[in-house]
Amino acid sequence: MAKIIDGKAIAAETRAKAAAETAELKKKGIVPGLAVVLVGNDPASRTYVTHKEKDCAACGIYSEEYALSASTRQEELLSLVRSLNQKTNIHGILVQLPLPAGLDSQAVIETIDPRKDVDAFHPSNVGRIMIGNYHFVPCTPAGVLELLHHENIPVEGKNCVVVGRSNIVGKPMAMLLMHENGTVTICHSHTQGLKEICKRADILVAAVGKPKLITADMVKPGATVIDVGMDRDENGKLCGDVDFAGVEPVASHITPVPGGVGPMTRAMLLKNTITAAKLQNGLAVG
């Protein structure tokens, strides 16, 4: 049976480190600050924002919330982002996605000051990730890497397969694994022979949003399986992109859903906010 990677416990460790770093920054007169912008009343987004605010409070990070109606116009939203770019007590800006229909999320992302882009979605930060000279990494891929490091799972020289090519998870995940000297294959909806490709993976990351897509016959015995999916099965029960019950006996390590990658995504946002505060105050980032 695989070792279940406890994302909740590892995220708690990450938050404790964030709290300690924040305390040290406060001794220097620096209070890391995060602004969260929520447009509309999507229940899932509302839940995520509430959790993020609680995480900030627990770690001593200052946070501001800007809740806007779904009827907010594009220029109003861009104007808010520009004003947050100028606020010296705000080091990180997060605009909760997805935005309501009619709003251009890419234009919003490109308006955020790259130094405050704690989601790491701005083209400038995406480019930095590509060349390996980056300060911020999208929170979910960063969380996955943190899980691998915590469990002492080496990436160097391993066959890594990422199923999913989104800008938020799949593409940056592939880049991070490559920077750690993994040999990376990205799969997507047009990939032929998905089963055979996945079965060659030493590290398999599923991030496509299809319930239980990855089954036991697609997994190499002893592989590490990271499930980024957050789906609902045929009974409405929360599940991931991996058929956990079938894959667990085959893998050496596996993340559960919930309680795997999800808690790490939130924890890495804290880390990015602290990094932003350090950079904007001329401090070294370790």
Q: Which two tokens stand for residue 258?
A: 């919930």
Q: State residue 243 phi and psi, 5-degree precision.
A: -75, 90
Task: From the candidates 55, 117, 119, 227, give the one annotated as an active-site residue.
Answer: 119
Separation in Å, CA 184 to CA 64, 145, 200, 201, 207: 39, 14, 11, 9, 14
Q: Active-site residue 86, yes or no? A: no
Q: Active-site residue 74, yes or no? A: no
Q: Active-site residue 96, yes or no? A: yes
Q: Are the beta carbons of 267 and 15 closer than 8 angstroms?
A: yes
Q: Report the distance separating Cα 37 and Cα 109, nearest Å.
A: 12
Q: State residue 130 phi and psi, 5-degree precision.
A: -60, -45
Q: State residue 92 phi and psi, 5-degree precision.
A: -130, 140
**Single-letter code of the amino acid located at 204:** L
Task: From the candidates 96, 116, 212, 243, give the one annotated as an active-site residue.
Answer: 96
Q: Report the distance separating Cα 52 and Cα 238, nearest Å.
A: 21
Catalytic residues: 52, 96, 119
